[in-house]
Structure 1
Amino acid sequence: MAGTTVTGTTVDELLAELAALEDPKARAVNERHGDDHGVNLGRLRAIAKRLKTQQDLARQLWETGNTPARLLALLICRPKAFERDELDAMLREARTPKVHDWLVNYVVKKSAHAHTLRVAWFADPDPVVASAGWALTTERVAKRPEGLDLAELLDAIEAEMRDAPERLQWAMNNCLAQIGIEHPEYRARALAVGERLEVLKDYPTPPGCTSPFAPIWITEMVRRQNPT
């Protein structure tokens, strides 16, 4: 595990460097969001910039199971170098929100296996895995909707989102909002579904930020697209 990398840095040295960045205040904030580390992500990104792309090192860092090490791995890996089953196994191991989010957004979305994984994960009985399927579907809704049945997606959201576990609920809500924002022909229904379900209606939103409550989110983003 401590083998020397191309840059002369070992995994053990990187683990020690990441441990030295641990900040109790940052950990307290992260733990409120379900994460289990206290490393400033700006500093972690600086380490990744120094290391550059190193696929073998990324795999070694991932295998440690250490959250900051896994985040670093996702920044220095080569997304297209992973096999489908490897990405599937990684996602099922990625239980903390930040690792899960970065894996989906920084790696899986850039992989040649994104489509097959989206289909497989979308219907998975594990809600955390299913949330990744919904996240990949949301990107399709916004960028490449061809082949998607948006009415069917709205049916599923209307039937399941209110009682879905938190991470899956959040992913479905994102999809609902993107359907309403990007597809005018479905906007009225998306707004109506959001109003009826009231998911995230009371979510605390800082001043200057847009509420994740779908009707507010859709209305605001459409306004920005069509300023008067």
Structure 2
Amino acid sequence: MDFETVMQELEALGKERMKKMYVSNGAHEPVYGVATGAMKPIVKQIKRDQQLAEQLYTTGNYDAMYFAGIIADPKAMAATDFERWIDGAYFYMLSDYVVAVTLSESDIAQEVADKWIDSGEELKMSAGWSCYCWLLGSRKDQEFSESKIASMLDRVKHTIHDSPERTKSAMNNFLYTVGISYRPLTEKAVEVSKEVGVIEIKRDNKKSSFLNAHESIQKDLDKGRVGFKRKYVRC
């Protein structure tokens, strides 16, 4: 399936209701409003196609960029490719759910995510922390340095309340993910989340939302979900 055909298919699948939802979350034109589940039949036909993914990502069309993440071949992407992708990710649904997810399936995930976390740029930092959520939630515990993850928990404790809004949200998710998906530091994550307490996320023209990783961790611990790992990160 070529570029023009995919774009036509995506446009035909667009729904006004989905488009409004994406726009309300920060997407801007061009956007068709395709539900992620509706993309699956096209994904089955294409599977993986890095060249096509690159063409789609550069359109600036939200739906095409999201689709690019599903058909990309992360292991074929270099650090410079991920830098291009994060530079094109203009709001959190791209940075955290397209770029970070794609990065998490690459062999250079941690080194790129570490660089983004240190960048001082809101969406890069958000993508970096989100990438660790996808990694910790899917890969075996022994693939990570316990001391490194422990120091990242300390970093969250000391900096989360002063971080940019989207970064705060991703850091809160990181706290939760360590608590549930990384057994060696479940107890430390519980302690840190208790110290951090409630996080306020301020949003333009909307009411603030409030996040509490401690409560979320406790709920899942009570359900016996400790050690939870996803089988698949992408669709």
- TM-score (normalised: structure 1): 0.79
For residues 47 and 141 of structure 1, do their structure 2 counterparts lie closer, same or farther at Cα, with a shift above 3 Å needed?
closer
The structure with the greater share of residues assigned to strand is 2
What is the CA–CA distance in structure 2 between the aligned matches of 1:130 and 1:30, rounded to whole Å? 22
CA deviation after TM superposition for structure 1 residue 71, in Å: 1.4
The equivalent residue for 1:116 is 111
Cα shift readout 1:8-53 (whole Å, capped 9, x = no counterpart): x3x2232222222221111112222223431121112222222222
Contact (CA 8 Å) 1:177, 1:190: kept in 2 or not? no
RMSD over aligned Cα atoms? 2.5
Cα shift readout 1:133-162 (whole Å, capped 9, x = no counterpart): 212334555534425434432332222212
Q: Gaps spanning 5+ residues in structure 2: where?
A: 202-209, 227-235
AA aligned opposite 1:116: E
CA deviation after TM superposition for structure 1 residue 98, in Å: 2.7
Percent same amino acid among aligned pairs? 24
Q: Would you say 1:21 and 2:13 are equivalent positions?
A: yes
Cα shift readout 1:85-135 (whole Å, capped 9, x = no counterpart): 111121121123332212211x21111211220221110111110112212
Match of 1:80 among 51, 75, 87: 75
Cα shift readout 1:51-95 (whole Å, capped 9, x = no counterpart): 222222122112222211111221122111111111112112112
Q: Would you say 1:12 and 2:12 are equivalent positions?
A: no
AA aligned opposite 2:5: E
Higher normalized contact order (CA 8 Å, seq sep 6+, divided by chain length): 2
List structure 1 runs of 4+ shifted beyond 6 angstroms: none
Aligned length: 207
User: Which of the pair has more CA radius of gyration?
Assistant: 1
Q: Gaps spanning 5+ residues in structure 1: where?
A: 1-6, 202-210
Match of 2:100 among 95, 98, 104: 104
For residues 147 and 19 of structure 1, do their structure 2 counterparts lie closer, same or farther at Cα, with a shift above 3 Å needed?
same
- TM-score (normalised: structure 2): 0.77
The equivalent residue for 1:217 is 216
Cα shift readout 1:160-186 (whole Å, capped 9, x = no counterpart): 212322210111101222333342441
Match of 2:54 among 53, 59, 76: 59
36-45 or 165-174, which moves further after superposition?
Answer: 36-45
Q: Secondary structure of the equivalent of 1:225? A: coil
